[in-house]
Structure 1
């Protein structure tokens, strides 16, 4: 559970903005989206391999 301390004299909109930013930065949003729909293990594995290949390609291009 995310908790935001509202400072004395702080505007409620400002506190909401901090809450939303904290919500996005934590992986709560991603976890909720993943739970909406089941992904087969083979599809998840394939996506993980594609991501690894993409990152490796970026690193190779950076070192050239």
Structure 2
């Protein structure tokens, strides 16, 4: 359960924004979307490798 303490006099929109940010970091929605359709383990592995290559290329460009 996500708990967001609201400070005295704090704007409700700001508290909602903090809640949404925390909720997004938990990855619940992402996991829910992944579970809606089955993907073969080979395809999952392939996408992980592509993602790793992409991140590695980004890090090389920074250097």
After TM superposition, is the score higher than 0.5? yes
The runs of 5 or more residues in structure 1 that have no matched partner are: none
CA 1:58–1:14 in 2, change beyond 3 Å: closer, same or farther?
Answer: closer
RMSD: 2.0
Aligned residues: 63
CA 1:13–1:39 in 2, change beyond 3 Å: closer, same or farther?
Answer: same
Structure of higher RCO (CA pairs closer than 8 Å, 6+ residues apart): 2
The runs of 5 or more residues in structure 2 that have no matched partner are: none
Counterpart residue number, 1:5: 5
Normalised by the length of structure 1, the TM-score is: 0.69
